Amino acid sequence: MNERVNLLEVRNLCKKFPVGERFFGAPRHWLHAVCDVEFDIPRKSVFGFVGESGSGKSTIANMISGVHHPSSGQILFKGRPLSDAPEVRRGIQMVFQDPETSLDPRKTVRFLVGEGLALHRMGTKSERDVKVRTVLSSVGLSYEVLNKYPHELSGGQRQRVAVARALILQPELLVLDEPTSALDVSVQAQILNLLMDLQRAFSLTYIFITHDLKIVSHFADNIAVLYLGRIVEIGPVDEVVDKPRHPYTRALLDSVPDPGKALNRKPIKGEIPSPLDPPAGCVFRTRCPLAHEICRIAPEYRIVQKSRILCHLA
């Protein structure tokens, strides 16, 4: 029987959070963090999520990794609904943005990396120790760090420990939530190269979340651009980056400095609206340089070449 082409399939995914309370505990408002998000992730590919802070990237990551439960919609992992079943959960692991806060400062590297094996009662103590040493070696760390605490490590070493902790359960999907943004530029390149080497070595599938379209464009296969909880453009990396069609995607690319070109940055005007009170119609219209009256009507997705775009004018 052939394996499914898509490792992860997401349909009509929504997440809303209650804000404030009325009498008897009823919420005063609802914050719609993610609205009707759909995408597929093929096996052994890299899928990038890009957008400003508040666009919903981390909320999607938290739903896929099980930190949050969706308000509605469906997440399928290997064709099965995502649930709290251990054998399903082990297949998806997450690497957080800042290892300094995601690693318990009171625990040694040996404990932090092997904790997942102990929680799932996998192997004997000596067998778990062998696996910890093996996975540390795979991320470029020596046995000397086993009895060290996170504060005794460099930023790059801490992130390697975070990656090792995610790999120890042999997942098929790694969710990388801005895994390099807290690191120095030189260390960022090392971690990105490590992640690419690990993907090839272990046949991993990645979800890479970032605010920098240029970074993810170097190794992603497909990219989704998020704005105010909605995917506004999604498609193969060469389509989205080289031929961006949505005004927001173009604005994100224009805002990234390019040392090889003259300085012609066009920053996005205004601030992202509050998800408590999003604009009617197209959510980007209050900041869009191309906005017309038709943009007061909510657009529907259009297929252009290999991309799917949420825009009347793209």
* pLDDT tens figures, 151-172: 999 989 999 999 999 999 999 9
Strand order in the sheet with 173-177: 92-95, 173-177, 205-210, 46-50, 222-227, 230-236, 307-310, 301-304
More confident residue, 111 or 121: 111
What gap in Å lies between CA 95 and CA 208, rounded to an integer? Answer: 10
Residue 272 has pLDDT above 80, yes or no: yes
Averaged pLDDT, 45-62: 92
pLDDT of residue 300: 94
Alpha helices in 22-176 (DSSP H): 57-65, 86-89, 99-102, 109-119, 125-138, 155-167
What gap in Å lies between CA 282 and CA 276, rounded to an integer? Answer: 15
Residue 167: name the closest of 88, 76, 90 by CA.
90
pLDDT of residue 294: 95
Residues sharing a CB contact under 8 Å with residue 211, sequence separation 6 or more, in sequence order: 50, 51, 52, 53, 57, 178, 181
- Residue 31 CB-density burial (10 A; 0-12 exposed, 13-18 middle, 19+ buried): middle
pLDDT of residue 151: 93
Q: Assess contact for 35 and 13: CB atoms under 8 A.
A: no
Q: Please tell me the pTM assigned to this model.
A: 0.90
What gap in Å lies between CA 302 and CA 47, rounded to an integer? Answer: 20
Residues sharing a CB contact under 8 Å with residue 264, sequence separation 6 or more, in sequence order: 254
Residue position matching structure tokens 């790999």: 167
Q: Assess contact for 302 and 290: CB atoms under 8 A.
A: no
> Three-state SS for 101?
helix
Q: 6-91+171-310: which CATH topology? A: Rossmann fold (3.40.50)
Tokens representing residue 146 in the block? 């086993």
What gap in Å lies between CA 56 and CA 43, rounded to an integer? Answer: 23
Least confident of 73-87, 89-103, 167-181: 73-87
Q: Domain residue spans in the chain?
A: 6-91+171-310
pLDDT in tens, 218-232: 889 999 999 999 999
pLDDT of residue 216: 85
- Highest average pLDDT, of 20-24, 95-99, 102-106, 138-142, comes from 138-142
Percent of the chain with pLDDT over 70: 93
Rg of the chain's alpha carbons, rounded to an integer?
21
Residue 265 has pLDDT above 80, yes or no: no
